[in-house]
Every structure is written in C-alpha cells, then in structure tokens.
Chains A and B, each alone.
Chain A
Amino acid sequence: MNLLKVDNVVKKFGGLRAVDGVSFELEKGEFLAVVGPNGSGKTTLLNLISGVYRPDGGRIFFEGRDITGLPPYSRARLGMSRAFQVPRPFPELSVLENVMVGAIFNGGRDLKTAREAAEEALRYVGLYEKRNQPAGKLTFNELRLLELARALAGNPKLLLLDEVMAGLNPREIDAMVQLIKRLAEERGIAAISLVEHRMRAVAQLAHRVIVMHQGKVIAEGPPEKALNDPKVVEVYLGRPWR
C-alpha cells in the first residue's frame, strides 16, 4: 500500500482551475519534487494535501484511508507535517517551545516526551545551541531549520515542504538538501517538496519529479528525464529557437 494517493483532484477559484485533475502516488520514504513556474498550482496542491483547502473534485488517501474531508489538525495527527515557505514561527516562544508544539500535538504525547523529541529534532537540524532563544530572534536560514525541526518533532511519515530553499544562499541550499535526503534515507520519511527556484539543484536530488503547468501535470518521472522533457523545456524557456 502506498503512503499517499492523490486521485484526480480539482480545485477551482472562481473560473480558474488552479489544480485540474492531478493524480499521483507516493511510496513510503520517497522524496518527490513538484516543479513548476509561479502560478502553476503547486502551492494549491500542497494545500489540498495538508487540508487547508477542500478539493472541488477527486479524493486523497493517506495510508489507504480517505482523508478528503479531514481538517488540517486531524491530518497532522495521522503523520503529515508541513513546513511553510515563509517560516511561521511562534515568535514569543523559545526555539525549543516552538518545536515542542509540533511534538505535543502531532504525536499526541505528554510534555516530557515531547521535550525529548524536540531536543532530538533540534540536534538533527543543528539548532540545539539556540534552543533557549526566542524564535523571533533567529536568522532567516535558522527559521527555515526551525520549521523543519518543528515538522520533524511530530515524528511524521510525510513531510510537506513548501519552497524551503527559497531565499537561501547556495551553501545553505546544499545543507538543506542534504538534510532532507538524510531524512528520507535514515528515517524513511517521505517528502513532497515544492521547487520553483534553483530547480535543477534541488530536483536532481529527488527520487521522482512531477512538473506542473496551469494546474496540470505535464511530465513525471526520474529527475533527468522529467526535467529534460520537451514540454517542460518549453514551459520554462519558451519554444526552441530553431
């Protein structure tokens, strides 16, 4: 049984079909990159999976269970964690407390176990030394890592990563990509990562790539194959010059 199954989902905003009949499946421990230009429907797709939006059509299954009608907090408890594109820390809480929130409610655990899980997640992403600082005082890169730690502490089966590389410098991107890859390999956590910027650097590390354009999937497969698909090249670069 696959971890996630998205079956022909549709989301309309007025007359615009932001996501238009997208289907795919995701295995346990798989790292999937969803690539597409701005406005292609990637973020809407992620919002449909995490439960921020209800689809206008189609169904979503998690571990074989139909979750189409579940609110975001119930999906989180099933083992789905999300990191936002623009980090959204709770600024008045300390770094540790921020991560604890993720551990307490995603895992349904008591405060003591949650604290241990949070400390472990902070060590994993390399923020442990800053655990007692207020989250509002972190740098942008550190906030990204905090988002990741917060998502990790809930012991997820699936990580939903919304453009977690945007705004980072090349060195930071490298470190982040390595971190996500390590998660998939060491812990068997599946990840769906949205990629718009620095597409190649990121997407090449994924097990599989889905390319979206105008709400539809236009290419799917291993990174090299999907990214070099003529349709994809056309969407990104326009028609070949010849």
Chain B
Amino acid sequence: MRPYIPLGAYLALMALAFALPEYSKQIASIAFYMALGQAVNIFVGLTRYVNFGYAAFLGIGAYGLGAAILYMPQLGIATIPIGLALGMGLAALLALTVGAIALRLRGAYFAIATIGLNEGIKHLIIGANIWGGGAGLMLGSSMFKVYGRDLALFLANVGSAALILLTGLISVLAMYFIQAGRAGYALAAIRQDEDAAKVMGINPTRYKLLAFVTSAVLSGLLGAAFFSLGNMQVFPENVFFIDYILDGLAVMFLGGAGTVTGPIVGGLIYYGARYLVGIYLPGLQSLITSLIVFLVMLFLPNGIVGTLNRRSEGLRTWLP
C-alpha cells in the first residue's frame, strides 16, 4: 500500500486553507467529517467493533485544550501544545480504562457497554460542575487576551482547519503503520475469526486496545481542534453529542470501512450531501443522510473506495 494519494489530499487541503484563509471555515467543516471518519475507521474499520461512546473522546479532547487556554493563560502560546497534549492524554487514559475492561466483550456487547460512556462523562461534568459545568467554557476573551486579537482569529480560522487536517493526516499514517506491521495481521485475523485468532497465539484484547486508544487519541486532537480552537467554546451538550459517532460511521462506510482513502471520499460526499439538503430541504439533513447510509449499506457494503480497490491490484496499492 502506498499512502501518497490520501496524504497528498490532506496536504493539498492544508495548503488551500493557508492560501485562501477566507474559506478556511468551509475547509474546516469538510475536513472535520473526513478526519472524524478517519479516526473512527482506525478502530471500527480495523476491528469491526462499534463504539457508541465515541463522542466522549472528542469532548474530552476539547476540554483538555479549553481548560489549558482558560486556566493557564500565563503560559502564553504554549497553552496550545500543552492543551492539545492534555486533551490527547485524557482521551488516551479514558480509552485505556474503558477499553481494558470493555474490549473483553464481543461485538454487540461491547457496543452496548460503550453507550453509557458519552452520557456518563457529560453528566459528570455538568453534575459535578467541573470545568464550568453546564455553562461550558467560553474561550474567546481569554484567547484574545493571551494570543492577541489577530493571532487568536488566525488560530480559530486557519489554525483550526490546519489542525483538523493534520488529524486526518496523522490518522492515515497511523493506519498505514498499524496495517504494515504485526498488528495489521493480528487485527485482520481478529476481524475475520476472533476464536481462530486466539488459538493462533493472538491476544485479541491487546490489539483491539491498540486500535481503540489510537483512535481515541486522534479523536481527542480532533475535538480540541474543531471545538476549542475553531469555535472558541466548549459546551457539554455540543461536544458530548451522540450524532458524531453516527456521522463518523456514515463517512467511513460511504468511503469504505478499513480503507485509508475511504474517509476522504466519504467525508467529501457526506459534507456535500448535508450542505445541499440544508439548502433545499432545511432541517432534513439527518433524515436524508441516514437514508444515504442505508442505501450504501444495501448496495455498496464495501463503500466507494472499498469497492473500487477490490477491482485491481493497482487500485489497491495506490488507493488503499
């Protein structure tokens, strides 16, 4: 597999965000769906387990950066790397804790076990009044004060778009390295027959956990880039929003679960479909997009890229 086309796509979009800062918000919105599908794909595509608590990782990542900006203004611009590290670290910690327990369960049982995760964290933050509780974190004035007005706006527009695209790009690399090594064989085996994999010397929990934590960390980065940096605010109701896992799954299945290029294609189509429905049939986005996903599952179960790259060796190599 040669990951140059997907990597190139993210780099090109990144260049576009810098070259046309007035369109950076639209680029960020498209990129959000791509990176979301890409991060979801690392876990769901590689293991075929579904994690309904997924949005919790987006949220926890957003809170990490938000808390750093709001509570550590004395650090100046260093709040960004420290906050991102904090968000990703918290996401990793949460994923390790939940995964080490829940990933011992199979398929549907795991999916059910994760449903409570997102709501649980949200209500913990609201109920215990952590990090602003139900009122959320308003980062605008703090960002203006710490970074200066121009830099703050640049970060919220171009910086956020670039960081979202970087998340997608790192996800492609993560997928590439996982699949190229021992873990790729282990996950392929687990995906197709977990019991057979077990008697062949594979510890399924270990490899599922690897995919789960990687996916969670990248989701944390995505949440920080999109909500904290891009929107300059973190509301529990917005970030711990269950629809994001449905969006992520839709993007992934549109493009092709387990493929590397799939989420880029899927994200583009998914964003386009929601945008058009928003103009012509406002309010019906979720209805129409779920219909699209339904039709894709029915007629194109391998997704667009997944169907294409089954056609020939060349496509499999260049459009992984």
Contact = CB atoms under 8 A, between A and B. Distances in A.
In the A-B complex, the 6 residue pairs with the smallest Cβ-Cβ separation, listed nearest first, are A105-B201, A76-B201, A90-B192, A88-B196, A106-B201, A72-B198
Interface residues on A, range: 20 to 34
Interface stretch (A9-17, A91-99, A123-131): A91-99
A100 interface: yes
27 contacts: A73-B199, A73-B201, A76-B198, A76-B200, A77-B201, A81-B199, A81-B200, A82-B199, A90-B189, A90-B193, A90-B196, A93-B189, A97-B188, A100-B185, A101-B186, A101-B189, A101-B197, A101-B200, A101-B202, A102-B200, A104-B201, A105-B202, A110-B182, A111-B182, A111-B185, A150-B200, A154-B200
A77 B202 CA distance: 9
A92 B179 CA distance: 14
B202 A93 contact: no
Contacts of B204: 73
Interface string B178-196: 0001100110110011011
A70 to B, nearest CB: 12
B22 to A, nearest CB: 45
Contacts of B188: 90, 92-93, 97, 101
Interface string A18-59: 000000000000000000000000000000001110000000
A84 B198 CA distance: 12
Interface residues on B, range: 10 to 19
Nearest to A98: B189
A105 B200 contact: yes
Interface string A139-164: 00000000000100010000000000
A91 B199 contact: no
Contact of B181 (A81, A82, A92, A111): A111
B203 interface: yes
Interface string A197-220: 000000000000000000000000
Contacts of B181: 111
Given A90-B189, A97-B188, A106-B200, 7 more contacts: A72-B198, A73-B200, A73-B203, A76-B199, A104-B182, A105-B201, A111-B182
Nearest to B202: A105
A88 B189 contact: no
B264 to A, nearest CB: 22
Which of A91, A92, A150 has the largest count of B CB atoms less than 10 A from its CB?
A92
A71 interface: yes
Contacts of A71: 198, 203
Interface string A179-194: 0000000000000000
A110 B199 CA distance: 19
B208 to A, nearest CB: 13
B185 A73 contact: no
Contacts, number: 70
Contacts of B195: 52, 88
Nearest to B193: A88
Which of B188, B197, B199, B202 has the largest count of A CB atoms less than 10 A from its CB?
B199
A117 to B, nearest CB: 13
Contact of A72 (B182, B186, B199): B199
Which of A71, A73, A92 has the largest count of B CB atoms less than 10 A from its CB?
A73
B1 to A, nearest CB: 13
A76 to B, nearest CB: 4
A88 B189 CA distance: 11
Contacts of A90: 188-189, 192-193, 196
B201 A92 contact: no
A72 B202 CA distance: 9
A67 to B, nearest CB: 14
Contacts of B192: 90-93
Interface in B193-252: 193, 195-204
Contacts of B197: 101
B176 to A, nearest CB: 15
A105 B190 CA distance: 12
A50 B201 CA distance: 11
A42 to B, nearest CB: 17
B186 A105 contact: yes
A119 B125 CA distance: 55
A154 to B, nearest CB: 7
Given A90-B193, A111-B181, A52 B200 contact: no
B141 to A, nearest CB: 53
Contacts of B199: 50-52, 72-73, 76, 81-82
A111 B182 CA distance: 7
A154 B201 contact: yes
Nearest to A93: B188
B200 A97 contact: no
Given A100-B185, A104-B185, A84 B200 contact: no
Nearest to B196: A88
Which of A71, A82, A105 has the largest count of B CB atoms less than 10 A from its CB?
A105
